[in-house]
Structure 1
Amino acid sequence: MTTQHMIDGKVVIVTGAGGGIGRDIALLMARNGAKVVINDIGASLEGEGKSAGPAQRVAEEIAALGGEATSNTDSVAEADGARHIVQNALDVFGRVDCVVNNAGILRDRFFHKMSDEEWDAVLKVHLYGTFNVSRAAAEPFKAQGSGAFIHMTSTSGLIGNLAQANYSAAKLGIAGLSKSIALDLQKFGVRSNCIAPFAWSRMISSIRIDSAEQEARVEKIRQMTPAKIAPLAVFLASDGAQDVTGQIFAVRNNEIFVMSQPRPVRSVHRSEGWTPESIAEHAIPALRSSFHSLDVSADVFSWDPV
């Protein structure tokens, strides 16, 4: 295997790496010299079942390239499982340098029809999973004075999408969590960033197509391969990114975006204070031009990927 030395010798944990985006990130990490822990419980998209197969297959792919990898089937949704994943890296490779929090499931449902189980399951894997693995890795990162977290967020949370309240809440929560990690661990030389990926994957393939517009949107996404996400992840894991932290990036085919984060856009002031009536008469009309419309992701990313 030709090593390009971008992250030579670094140990990288990639969760949900048995297929899709996670697999492509793991493969490119290995091609760039990293030793990789391939974590995947081998479940269906809905989180059902368990199989060592997917993680083991990716580990074997990396070995066939001349790289080093180990497979792991612990669940990120449980704190003990997350600790085992990090310990796995320490036991096999002696250290850990980067965590890519990629594991995810979907339970798409309109909010008014969403069950407790559908809400809990998605929050547990995405938001709790990201916290659990990050918390477990924080100790070795802190001790060695370095480390990189790469979390997968989504424009479903950053912008909005229909029938994804659980997923959107989790993904926007991850953006907030990433910022907190970046702030709290900055003094220890640890970085934390998010990527919102546009890529055809099992998760995207489950989107219900109920209109010509939705069909056209899905067809565009089908052309965006998971491999397009991996180069940014490798860069963020490298020492070349040591001054990049607390950011939210998006990758769409050959485009890389840095996403805005909430900041005040307009204000109104009254020295005598506000009443409900003066808010109606003055504040809201003055602020209305800065209101956000009820966009979904496809409204904002309306041009064809290049």
Structure 2
Amino acid sequence: MGNEFVQFSLTPLLIGVLAAVACALPGNFLILRRQALIGDAISHVVLPGIVVAFLVTGAVAAIPMLLGAAGAALVAVVLIEAIKRLGRIEPGAAMGVTFTTLFAAGVLILEQTDTSAVHLDVEHALMGNLESLIWFRAKGWGSLLDPVALAALPDELGRIAVVCALVVVLTIVFWRWLKISTFDEGFAQALGLPVTAIGLGLVITAAVAAVAAFDAVGSIIVIAMFICPPAAARLVTNRLEHQVMWSVVFAVLSAVLGYVFAGYGPLWFGSQNAVSAAGMIAAVSGVILGLACLFGPHRSRVGVGREEVL
């Protein structure tokens, strides 16, 4: 029994780790650019886009989901500008109204839509279905070389693995551009760097990571991983390279500990009630951020700007 649990749990655990890392990497630059809430915004906006994509195609597939999320993001931008100009209110308020409205619309549509044929409902949208992403054909490490067994791997693993690898590669390739434009936008413009395109690319990368993670882990983890690991890493170091590495460590630690606590935590306390793995992973990331706020060596400088990060 124990061997089967460890064997089966490796797949959802790996998906959780990859999703956490894919969101944490762009989250570092969003936080330093004072755009941390964009991650929250993206996770709210993608829901109605994904729901509409499902209604049009009748299936939960990667490409329609991405196109639906992109369309919802475009609608959100138009609505934000319209509310800001017509209502003459600040951008933050316009963003809050737009994102909460779109998310609520997505939830309402889900409630009124028959999604019994697929794993798509309100609970799935918030918490994902991480616990069910088990590799049933696995019969040991030899399954990694068995084409039949590999064909039974959850599709979510392949999607999030590709997206995580893409995020890592883009971060490495555009590292210098991201660093310069984040810390000194004027200097970046003087160097001839496409500052606007870099910022847009960062948001698009974050959106792609959010959409890829959404189906497996839900919006709770997406929101938490965009903010908690990078923010905790910011309190641990004031060097960008170290911050990014610490954010990855915190993201992986949150995914592993959260998944283990969700599986064994209730048993430790004598309870048989199931605990959401996604919710527990998000909770662990929040605890890590709380500890960093209390004991991080740079916690007293939390109010300083990105100029202090070298």
The higher-RCO structure (CA 8 Å, 6+ apart) is: 2
> Shared fold (TM-score greater than 0.5)?
no
Q: Quick check: which one's strand share is greater?
A: 1
- Give the TM-score of the pair, scaled to structure 1: 0.29
